Amino acid sequence: MAVAPTSLLHFSEDPDIGRFIPHVPLSNPLQSPAVWSIDPEHAPLYWFPRDCPRVTAWPHDRARRRHFEASFTTTALRVHAVELAWLDRVRRTELWCYTFDPGPFRPWPEASGQWVADTVIEPIGVEPVGDLLQRHIDATIELRVVPSLWPLHEFVQAGDWDFSIVRMANARPQR
């Protein structure tokens, strides 16, 4: 059972959301209606424009860090990748971070760090995220800008690390 963090987060390009109403995500129509949030440890997974396809990976724990670093040829804490066509949107997007009281939320077992609530949620705060590229730099996350995400899509699923793959329907078509 996941230990509840002291706060949960939600990222949006809309700075004026007063209430979050449970809904079924278009990208996952078999889910029950919910309000979705992320714990602070996994927040970098959402430092992107909403519809931006991305592949991310990070080691499960310190013991597997060397294997991760060798596999990705990096010393970064995480590797995130976006397609070339999305770089300008990553640069220009104004993103907002909403803070939630974790009380009404429960862990979503299908993804690390994600939490859901089945009731209306009012945020306890909202603030701008700032420059998304700079956030990656400050967090020691390697941001790769690649012609196609599909090779990494396959690679991260085959490895011994944690990963997140988001919005691949918006990626360039696979060859």
**Tokens standing for residue 43:** 């927040």
Task: Give me the chain's average pLDDT, please.
Answer: 95
Q: What is the DSSP string of 58-113?
A: E-SSGGGHHHHHHHHT--SSEEEEEEGGGHHHHHH---EEEEE-STT-EE-TTSTT
Q: Please determine, for residue 1, whether its predicted confidence score (pLDDT) is greater than 60.
A: no
Report the alpha-carbon distance of residue 130 to residue 110 in Å, rounded: 29
Average pLDDT over residues 151-166: 95
77, burial (CB in 10 Å: exposed 0-12, middle 13-18, buried 19+): middle
Q: Which of 50-54, 58-62, 116-120, 125-129 has the lowest mean pLDDT?
A: 58-62
% of the chain at pLDDT higher than 90: 87
pTM: 0.92
